[in-house]
Chain A
Amino acid sequence: MGTAPTTRDEVPADVIGLSDLVVTTESSDPVVILRGVSLTVRAGELVGLVGESGSGKSTVALAIADLLPEGVVRASGSVRVNGEALDALPAKRRGALLGRKVALVLQDPSASLNPVRRIGPQMIEVLRFHFGVSRAEALRLAADRLREVGIDDPGRVLASYPDMLSGGMKQRVVIAMGLLAGPEVVIADEPTTALDVRVQASVLDLLVRLNSEKDVAILLVSHNIVAVGEYCDRVIVMYAGTIVESLAAADLMASARHPYTRALIGSVPSLETPTQAELPTIPGSPPDPGDVLAGCPFEPRCPLARARCATELPRRIALDESHTVACWAVEEELAQHPVRLEPSC
Chain B
Amino acid sequence: MTTTTTVRARGSTMQWARFLLIRLVRAVVVMVVLVVVTFAMVRLVPGDPAQRILGMNADPVALAATRERLGLDAAWLTQFADYVNGVLTFDFGTSFQTGETVSKIIADRVWPTLQAALLAIVLVAVGGLLVGLWAGVVTERRRPVTEATFSGITGVIGILPPYLLGTLLVWLFAVQLQWLPVAGSGSLAKAILPAMALGLAPMAMLARVVRVETLTVLGQDYMRLARSKHLPGIRLFTDHLLPNVLGPVLPILGALSATLIGGSVVIERVFARPGLGEELAQGVQVGDFPVVQGLVIFLGGVVVLTSFIADVLAAIIDPRVRRAVVR
Q: Contact mask A59-76 → B, CB, 8 Å, 1/0?
A: 000100101001100000
A122, B231: Cα distance in complex, Å: 11
A70, B231: Cα distance in complex, Å: 18
A71, B139: Cα distance in complex, Å: 11
Q: Contact mask A152-174 → B, CB, 8 Å, 1/0?
A: 00011011010100000000001
- The verdict on B247 contacting chain A, using a C-beta distance below 8 Å, is yes
A301, B309: Cα distance in complex, Å: 62
Contact call B4/A111, Cβ cutoff below 8 A = no
A175, B223: Cα distance in complex, Å: 16
A161, B324: Cα distance in complex, Å: 14
- Distance (whole angstroms) from the CB of A181 to the closest CB of chain B: 8
Known: A71-B141, A156-B7, A161-B319. A116 touches B228 (CB 8 A): no
Which residues of chain B have C-beta atoms less than 8 A from A136's C-beta?
1
Which residues of chain B have C-beta atoms less than 8 A from A163's C-beta?
320, 323
A112, B229: Cα distance in complex, Å: 13
Which chain A residue lies CB-closest to B235? A129
Which chain B residue lies CB-closest to A139? B1
A120, B239: Cα distance in complex, Å: 13
Which residues of chain A have C-beta atoms less than 8 A from B220's C-beta?
111
- The verdict on A125 contacting chain B, using a C-beta distance below 8 Å, is yes
B225 contact from A70, A104, A121, Cβ within 8 A: A104
- The verdict on A262 contacting chain B, using a C-beta distance below 8 Å, is no
A113, B239: Cα distance in complex, Å: 12
A115, B246: Cα distance in complex, Å: 13
- The verdict on A215 contacting chain B, using a C-beta distance below 8 Å, is no
Known: A98-B228, A115-B222, A161-B319. A155 touches B3 (CB 8 A): yes
Which residues of chain B have C-beta atoms less than 8 A from A106's C-beta?
221, 224-225
Which residues of chain A have C-beta atoms less than 8 A from B225's C-beta?
104, 106, 112-113, 174
- The verdict on B318 contacting chain A, using a C-beta distance below 8 Å, is yes
Contact call B228/A156, Cβ cutoff below 8 A = no
Which residues of chain B have C-beta atoms less than 8 A from A161's C-beta?
319-320
Known: A117-B243, A155-B7. A129 touches B232 (CB 8 A): yes
- Distance (whole angstroms) from the CB of B108 to the closest CB of chain A: 44
A154, B23: Cα distance in complex, Å: 33
Contact call A111/B230, Cβ cutoff below 8 A = no
Which residues of chain B have C-beta atoms less than 8 A from A159's C-beta?
4-5, 7-8
A125 contact from B7, B221, B231, Cβ within 8 A: B231
A129, B228: Cα distance in complex, Å: 13
Which chain A residue lies CB-closest to B247? A116
- Distance (whole angstroms) from the CB of A35 to the closest CB of chain B: 23
- Distance (whole angstroms) from the CB of B321 to the closest CB of chain A: 9
- Chain B at the A interface: SS class: helix
Contact call A114/B7, Cβ cutoff below 8 A = no
Known: A70-B142, A106-B225, A111-B222. A99 touches B231 (CB 8 A): yes
CB proximity to B under 8 Å, residues A87-118: 94-96, 98-99, 102-104, 106-108, 111-117
Which residues of chain A have C-beta atoms less than 8 A from B28's C-beta?
none
Contact call B244/A116, Cβ cutoff below 8 A = yes
Contact call A158/B4, Cβ cutoff below 8 A = yes
A158, B243: Cα distance in complex, Å: 19
Contact call A103/B244, Cβ cutoff below 8 A = no
Contact call A116/B320, Cβ cutoff below 8 A = yes
- Distance (whole angstroms) from the CB of B196 to the closest CB of chain A: 32
A145, B229: Cα distance in complex, Å: 17
Which residues of chain A have C-beta atoms less than 8 A from B230's C-beta?
94-96, 98-99, 130
- The verdict on A16 contacting chain B, using a C-beta distance below 8 Å, is no
- Distance (whole angstroms) from the CB of A268 to the closest CB of chain B: 27
A120, B5: Cα distance in complex, Å: 12
**18 extra A-B contacts, CB within 8 A, seeds A115-B244, A116-B319:** A99-B228, A99-B229, A102-B228, A106-B221, A111-B222, A113-B222, A114-B222, A115-B319, A121-B239, A125-B226, A125-B235, A125-B239, A129-B235, A155-B1, A155-B4, A156-B7, A161-B319, A163-B320
Interface residues of chain B, those whose CB is within 8 Å of chain A, are: 1, 3-5, 7-8, 140-142, 220-222, 224-232, 235, 239-240, 243-244, 247, 317-320, 323
Instruction: Name 10 interchain pairs, CB-CB below 8 A, sorted by A.
Output: A71-B141, A99-B228, A114-B239, A129-B229, A129-B232, A155-B4, A159-B7, A161-B319, A161-B320, A163-B320
